[in-house]
Amino acid sequence: MKRRLFVAAVVGAAAWVAMTPATGLSFGGIFKSKSSCCAAPVATASCGTSAVASPCGVAAAPYAAAPCGVVAAPVAAPCAPAPTFTTQTVTRYRQELVTKQVPVTVLKQVSRNESYTYNETVPVTTTQKQTVTEYQQVSKQVPYTYTVMQQQTVTEPRTVTSMQIVPKTETFSYTEMTYATTTQKQTVTENQIVPKTETFSYTEMTYATTTQKQTVTENQIVPKTETFSYTEQVPVTTMQAQTRSYTVCVPTTVTQQVPVTRQVMVPVATNPCGVAAGGYGAPAASQGCGGCAAAAPCGGGCATAAAPAVSYACQTVCEMQTVARTVMQQQVQTQTVNVPVTTYSTVTKTGTRTVNTCVPVTRTIDVPVTTCVPVTKTGTRTVNTVVPVTRTVDVPVTTCVPVAKTGTRTVNTCVPVTTTVNVPVIKCVPVAMTATRVVCEVVPMTKTIDVPVTTYSTVAKTGTRTVVDCVPTQEMRTVTECVTVPYTETIQVPVAAPVSACGSYGSAVGYGYGSACGAAASCSTCGSTASCGHVKKPGLFARLCHKNTCN
């Protein structure tokens, strides 16, 4: 970009130089007017003359007489020549996507068969003799003493204190808060929403879908049948004789003393006074001889009482009785039985199986690629602006004012009252009793039995397995790169126009401030001193005569 700007600046400067007029129109008389390269020389007027002859047969423009160094005013202003353009070919650069083939290292799976050694554990069953201790239960009768708690009810006096509620009226003072409302003026600032419509620009991302070709590698499953060896455990059942012990319940009759309670009628002696013999008490309801009163109808007291009468009462009697019962006792018996024993033997067999192998397959597919392209759009939206507005409002203000008041209330007081009550109390009294019970004891018994013992032995075997190795392979892949490509373009370049021999600019008369007297020089005097004695300054902007007439 900098190189292009520099080239454009140089071309523009050259065009400006080419279009610069040959007449001296600068300040200070730096550029001098040269001859128009016509056949007839321009008539030179002396200083102070009133006219200058025009070259090339053009009517002479009258000029006012002026001393040397004074500007001669022209009648008509000169016209600048129009620029011309030429065609030029330039080289520019642009970015392009280039697709090419590059080598890529790819890991491929290669399967191979190899032999390996492994250890297999084989069970071996043997019969061993072991000593086993068994426990048998032996029952026996054991007397024991136990205590029974019997309940007895007794009435006891208890002192109980209870609380009674006694109401009481009292006067109390309290403060009540009442509401008092007053109106106050307050300044309130409210925000008002003012809608405003504005135009805004936004960028919208649109989706552009293109189709690209890509190379993909897929794995295809290829089935393969192979032969393999395997070990199978075959069960073998044999009958073996074993001795087993089992327990049998045998009924046994046992004799036992049991306490039995029964009711027995017992005679009780009574006297005619209705009092039991040998005791004292209230007189009987019916007194035959006046009873024990001080004055008896019969004249006697208890000494003259009648003969005692006989009555019967029920009494509980406990006695021991012999009872026979049947008890089941456990006895151990031995029996020899044939038991099927299953063992496993190892058998090697051969079979076939299908093994799937993954084979990579490469193919080219069309893949849609979606890219986001930004698109600038313009829309209109309404924007709400919040403007604060201040106003004065009357606000009711409520305050709480305390007011003292007096009231009455009833207060309940708890007063303790003590009373005596009879409470029935149940007490437990221990009573010792004796009985017998059956106690089972465990007795150890030792015997020898045959036990199958299985041990495992290690056997080394050889097999074949498939191993997959990753092998690096060179493949050609299609890669897209971004490269810089030069291209040519034709443009229009401005070119300086040639200066006319006869015309406004480049004429024999010098237009401009600070020019000489307008004297014309012949073609032979290009670069020499002008008529007024001013020397032409050579340089880039020094335009002498036409290149066809001057060197």
**DSSP for 299-334, written as a single string:** S--GGGPPPPEEEEEEEEEEEEEEEEEEEEEEEEEE
* Cα of 550 vs its chain's centroid, Å: 92
* pLDDT average, residue stretch 262-284: 57
What integer pLDDT is reported at residue 486 of this predicted model?
A: 92
Decide: pTM greater than 0.95.
no
Per DSSP, the chain holds a count of helices (H) and strands (E) of 1, 2
Residue 311 pairs in a beta bridge with 268
What integer pLDDT is reported at residue 344 of this predicted model?
A: 86
8-state DSSP, 286: S
pLDDT of residue 323 exceeding 50, the answer is yes
Domain ranges of the chain: 101-228+348-489
* Cα of 124 vs its chain's centroid, Å: 57
State whether residue 42 is helix, strand or coil.
coil
CA 450, 455, 456 angle in degrees (round to 5)?
A: 165
Q: How far is CA 544 from CA 223, 235, 530, 536, in A?
A: 99, 129, 12, 9
Burial of 15 (0-12, 13-18, 19+ CB in 10 A): middle
pLDDT of residue 149 exceeding 80, the answer is yes
* pLDDT average, residue stretch 316-341: 86
Q: Which of 328, 336, 335, 334 is nearest to 137 (CA)?
A: 328
Burial of 344 (0-12, 13-18, 19+ CB in 10 A): middle
337 falls in which pLDDT band (50, 70, 90)?
confident
Instruction: Please check whether residue 413 is in contact with residue 126, taking contact to mean a CB–CB distance below 8 angstroms.
Output: no
The rounded percent of the chain whose pLDDT value lies above 70 is 70
pLDDT of residue 25 exceeding 80, the answer is no
pLDDT of residue 415 exceeding 80, the answer is yes
**pLDDT tens for residues 201-259?**
988 888 888 888 888 888 888 888 889 898 888 888 888 888 888 888 888 888 888 88
Average model confidence (pLDDT) for the chain? 74
What the block records as the tokens of 483 is 């490269």
State whether residue 146 is helix, strand or coil.
strand
pLDDT of residue 39 exceeding 70, the answer is no
* pLDDT average, residue stretch 395-401: 88
Among 377-381, 441-445, 542-546, the minimum mean pLDDT is found in: 542-546
Residues 6+ apart with CB under 8 A from 316: 261, 262, 263, 264
58 falls in which pLDDT band (50, 70, 90)?
very low
